[in-house]
Homo-oligomer: A and B are copies of this chain.
Amino acid sequence: MKVDDRRRQLLDLGADLFARHAYDELSMSAIAREAGISKSLLYHYFPSKSDYFQATVAAAAEDVAARTTPDPDLPPLEALTASLDAFLAWIEENETAYRKLMQGATGAAEVRDLVAGVREETARRLLEGLSDGEPSPAVRTAVHGWLGYTDAACLDWLEHRDMDREELRNLLLGSLLGALTAAGFTPRL
């Protein structure tokens, strides 16, 4: 198997294993066994369990960023709607991993930094899409706040599952508009 394919396959396996098991429960031996490769080959790809875990989180972060990149050819509201739909589809597919990451079940500073980095990049993209030039402090705060809103609302939704995905998406969109309005901003949608 090509090196890149093998690495990709190990990252997919890791996403699944770390979602299903507590970090401390998993050993590199058990992971190698699951992957059907030798422990030394696993170490060849990832020098430690911590490196392996961080690589799976980084790959998941890249995946969600790629899938939610707004389509520049769509009008802003449609592009945002499509990004939210893609995000909600992603968290449904990766529910356990998403919950674990959001609830801070993973103490490693590197992982927290990764999650914070994804949020920062999402805020940047959103602010860029909303207006040219520097946003006001209130708009910047509202956008960061809304990302916190989105994650908290999604966790509540995953726990109860008593709305369909479209209702949740519309609630998220409407709440963003409400927050931007409260920040004195009228989006060009």
Interface residues of A (CB under 8 A from B): 103-105, 107, 109, 112, 116, 137-138, 140-142, 144-153, 155-157, 160, 162-163, 167-168, 170-175, 177-179, 181-183
Contacts and interface: CB of A to CB of B under 8 A. Distances in A.
A160 B137 contact: yes
Given A141-B163, A146-B175, A177-B182, 13 more contacts: A105-B112, A137-B160, A145-B150, A145-B171, A145-B172, A145-B175, A146-B152, A148-B149, A173-B182, A174-B181, A175-B178, A175-B179, A178-B182
Given A175-B179, A179-B178, A145 B141 contact: no
Given A175-B175, A178-B181, A181-B178, A153 B145 contact: yes
Q: Is the interface of A mostly helix, strand, loop or mixed?
A: helix
B182 A175 contact: yes
Contacts of A105: 109, 112
Given A149-B179, A175-B179, A141 B112 contact: no
Nearest to A177: B178
A66 B62 CA distance: 42
Contact of A149 (B104, B149, B156, B174): B149
Contacts of A137: 160, 162-163
Contact of A153 (B109, B148, B162, B163): B148
A162 B139 CA distance: 12
A157 B140 CA distance: 9
Nearest to A146: B149
CB-CB nearest 3 A-B residue pairs: A178-B178, A148-B152, A174-B182
